[in-house]
Structure 1
């Protein structure tokens, strides 16, 4: 059977330096695989590869030394074990995610569920160039969201409750950005939203319930980490509600699809035409 190597690459088969061999990338969402799926990975690696796998930087699994003659049999074995090949090329790539609030004590958002939802909507969508998305549960930023074309981070807005406050000062002391100030004489705590990074440490530090929390998403755009390194930019402090989050993500992907040149990364597009118009598009979607 004659293969189109460009098509093979788009579906996770990357040619190795060894003739006739491919390093096969598996579909992954947030790095989550079941124990049964891992047994299938072992079976494929031992039967069709060289008995080992490679764990990628984006929480995926690659099985090297898959022979061209075995590709169809490999696909059948993967499908029987609940697996599929992943994505390469100019499309939305593997969605990364930490374990989020379902597992982690620091997590503010359900990153695994959000990553799965995003993958269902967007994974494999063709774009001018590869496009990377990452979800992280809190300001600890385990997934380094600002390195992605789009990064989504759990964020929380602190809302002070005067009647519950004992003015112990714990929240003021723990704030890493100095965004809180206490006026004991007038019984008041002031919050500087320009300094706040929405990490929620002030809320966790309070033993008296003097802070209410409003949880949302801090979204960054245009991150790069490769031949060129650039930190993603944020245009809105927090986006509240999953409906607005998806409207925002839809707007960003549509903008890239409409304005990007073939082979141009998202950040390079924004730098080329300027950020002002895109900023307005995102603000309109978020509002």
Structure 2
């Protein structure tokens, strides 16, 4: 290896991350949405046993990492993994592998097909160079938000809008009892009273109604922008509601375009920090051009999480 010059920056951009040991790397594999076939999983296990340290690491963002892979074995590892179709993940200033929960396929709380959305974003946007910093996307199927979507640069959360068919309502009160947000109560006439300002679009009232009186009239994603974790965390805030699943890629692409333009010359900076600098109206106006029916009239800035207590005077 003494005669070989290793470009660590380019290797890291391609998912090969330098470890502490000489010539040893972690190989990060793409697992969009956290789903992997058993056949591929078996192949990874064999490669990890043969070339790695005998175990794999499951990253926070649902990727699988092979540990202690020698630089000299890169070609063999990629070939035996069958990862020739860009299945190795990426690092650096580019769009990362999207994360997602199970969505509506088998989870009773799921409202949208997060797995399909994650695959589409991975196929069409993964690896897109931002020129500024990493760009993370996360999908949650419902307001429980297990994937912590609001801590992504763009976080999408499944949402439904309920509407009552009064003729089918039997005044059982189950919807009001199931609404933990207080958006539903029973009126003096024994009928549900809907407080839209408290609704978080979970659809629990629809699921619990024994007669189907509560209907889904809108379904899609609530979209939060500007989140990040790390040394200076931010929680993303709401920019759009009921974005259709088939418009997710275009919407994220529009957010990316704004970020690339506004962060020009700003160095290594995430979109949340750019919003703090530019204000939210600039991004709202940009998104409203192509998505007027989904983008909010106004929103608030990303919320800063203070991670340090002030020092006490001695």
Task: Give the TM-score normalised by the residue count of structure 1.
Answer: 0.93
What is the deviation of 1:273?
Answer: 1.5
For the pair 1:143 / 2:147, whether they are aligned, the reply is: yes
Give the 3 Å change call, closer, same or farther, for CA 158–276 of structure 1 in structure 2: same
Give the 3 Å change call, closer, same or farther, for CA 97–12 of structure 1 in structure 2: same
CA distance in 2, matches of 1:81, 1:12: 13
Q: What corresponds to 2:96 in structure 1?
A: 93
Q: Bigger CA drift: 164-173 or 124-133?
A: 164-173
Q: What corresponds to 1:264 in structure 2?
A: 269
Q: Bigger CA drift: 241-250 or 151-160?
A: 241-250
Q: Bigger CA drift: 218-227 or 253-262?
A: 253-262
Q: What corresponds to 2:49 in structure 1?
A: 46
CA distance in 2, matches of 1:274, 1:46: 50
Q: What corresponds to 1:274 in structure 2?
A: 279
SS at match of 2:240: coil
Where do residues 49-198 of structure 1 align in structure 2 (5 Å cutoff)?
A: 49-79=52-82, 84-127=87-130, 128-185=132-189, 188-198=191-201
CA distance in 2, matches of 1:256, 1:176: 37
For the pair 1:254 / 2:267, whether they are aligned, the reply is: no
What is the deviation of 1:195?
Answer: 1.2
Point out where structure 2 has 5 or more consecutive residues left out of the alignment. Answer: 293-314
Could you tell me whether the CA contact under 8 Å between 2:220 and 2:241 is conserved in 1? Answer: no
- Size of the aligned set, in residue pairs, is 285
SS at match of 2:238: coil
CA distance in 2, matches of 1:168, 1:184: 13
Task: Give the TM-score normalised by the residue count of structure 2.
Answer: 0.86
Report Cα offsets for 1:15-49 as digits up to 9, x if no partner: 11112110110111111111111122112212211
Could you tell me whether the CA contact under 8 Å between 1:36 and 1:81 is conserved in 2? Answer: no
CA distance in 1, matches of 2:277, 2:256: 17
For the pair 1:204 / 2:203, whether they are aligned, the reply is: no
CA distance in 2, matches of 1:258, 1:140: 33
Could you tell me whether the CA contact under 8 Å between 1:244 and 1:285 is conserved in 2? Answer: no
Could you tell me whether the CA contact under 8 Å between 1:177 and 1:195 is conserved in 2? Answer: yes
Aligned with residue 34 of structure 2, among 28, 31, 36: 31
SS at match of 1:158: strand
